[in-house]
Amino acid sequence: MSDKETLKQELKKRTEEIDRLLEERLPEEAGHQKTILEAMNYSVRAGGKRLRPMLMQEVCRLFTGTVLDTVPPFMAAIEMIHTSSLVHDDLPCMDDDMMRRGKASTWAEFGEDIGVLAGDALMMYAFETASAAFEACAEPGDAAAVGRAMGILARKTGVFGMIGGQTVDVELAGGPIPRDKLDFIYRLKTGALIEASMLIGAVLGGAAQEDCKIVETLAAKIGMAFQIQDDILDVTGREEVIGKPVNSDEKNAKTTYVTLEGLDKAREYVQTLSEEAIGELNKLPGNNEFLEDLIHLLINRQK
């Protein structure tokens, strides 16, 4: 593990690099539809840790030693899709949160109608952005890898991924949720985009099929731990630190791992998943110390 100050500086550097990458790919705020473009850009520029695109580039680096030119369009796309999900999560018909990352949520700033459209628009614009990877292909086999990555992005975003998990979450809102369905929601609603990020990095990096399976298993463990840690922070965090209202789950009568199993057991499970995730990482070829540090940070974050 790197020392904390070195990791902090490296993380800041890479986050700023991803912010610039995103800025280069955001649409110009012009034309009759200017309002929706402003809302899209406002949502992305609200910030965040940019951990999903960071995971993607680091998995690619694990297999290639570098970040291939086909990767940045997908890095931008995955962050746009993640942002679109947050825009929709905050809506009155969902979590009804007026704050996100210390700022007014998109619907609170632009209105509920534009909030819905901004989430939709970001999701579609993400695929337009990802398609630019075809233009960056340098080798004959690169286009096939990009096509496969596009399929992963679509599946992990759609009804067999994030949206599928969100659907079950909405249907069961306000009532008790059994553990098996809660695990399903977490695997899809939260875990699917983390799986997409890491699996796309592996595919574009030319990883063997067996290694791709390990990456997907690793990512699934990270996604589950990430969501359980989110449950913990909703109970233990401070609003000024995490940048959104605390006790939102309780306000919305939401079943979480904490409400089912208790805070102590939730913390124990996060630790177990963290150890298992690093075990999966150690099965992969190559060495990427920053990726290991990033996984620990993602799972054990305090905001």
* Domain positions in the chain: 4-299
Confidence grade of residue 158 (pLDDT, cut at 50, 70, 90): very high
Return the structure tokens found at 275.
Answer: 């150890």
Least-confidence region, from 5-14, 60-69, 82-91: 5-14
Lookup result for tokens 């057991």: 265
Q: What are 256-290's pLDDT values in tens digits?
A: 999 999 999 999 999 999 999 999 999 998 777 88
Report the distance separating Cα 257 and Cα 266, nearest Å.
6
Of residues 169, 193, 194, the one with CA closest to residue 256: 169
pTM of the model: 0.92
Report the distance separating Cα 291 and Cα 65, nearest Å.
12
Q: Which residue did the predictor score with more confidence, 120 or 47?
A: 120
pLDDT of res. 240? 47
Confidence grade of residue 46 (pLDDT, cut at 50, 70, 90): very high
Mean pLDDT over the full length of the chain: 91
Of residues 18, 51, 62, 48, the one with CA closest to residue 296: 51
Q: What are 55-84's pLDDT values in tens digits?
A: 999 999 999 999 999 999 999 999 999 999
Tell me how far CA of residue 192 lies from CA of 163, 188, 233, 247, in angstroms: 9, 5, 21, 25
Of residues 208, 184, 197, 209, the one with CA closest to residue 294: 197
Mean pLDDT for the stretch of residues 75-94:
96
Report the distance separating Cα 225 and Cα 298, nearest Å.
9
Instruction: Return the CATH number of 4-299, one of 3.30.530.20, 1.10.600.10, 1.10.3720.10, 3.40.50.620.
Output: 1.10.600.10
Helix (H, G, I), strand (E, B), or coil: what is residue 289? helix
Confidence grade of residue 121 (pLDDT, cut at 50, 70, 90): very high
Confidence grade of residue 242 (pLDDT, cut at 50, 70, 90): very low
pLDDT of res. 237? 58
DSSP 225-277: HHHHHHHHHHHH--HHHHSS-SSHHHHTT---HHHHH-HHHHHHHHHHHHHHH
Non-local CB neighbours of 34 within 8 Å, separated by 6+ positions: none
Of residues 198, 210, 193, 211, the one with CA closest to residue 71: 198
Non-local CB neighbours of 299 within 8 Å, separated by 6+ positions: 222, 225, 226, 229, 270, 273, 274, 277
Over its C-alpha atoms, the chain yields an Rg (Å, rounded) of 19
Tell me how far CA of residue 69 lies from CA of 3, 11, 72, 74, in angstroms: 30, 21, 6, 10
Give yes or no for residue 300 having a pLDDT over 70. Answer: yes
Amino acid type, 98? M
**What single-letter DSSP state applies at residue 103?**
E
Return the structure tokens found at 259.
Answer: 């409400």
Give yes or no for residue 296 having a pLDDT over 90. Answer: no
Report the distance separating Cα 14 and Cα 19, nearest Å.
9
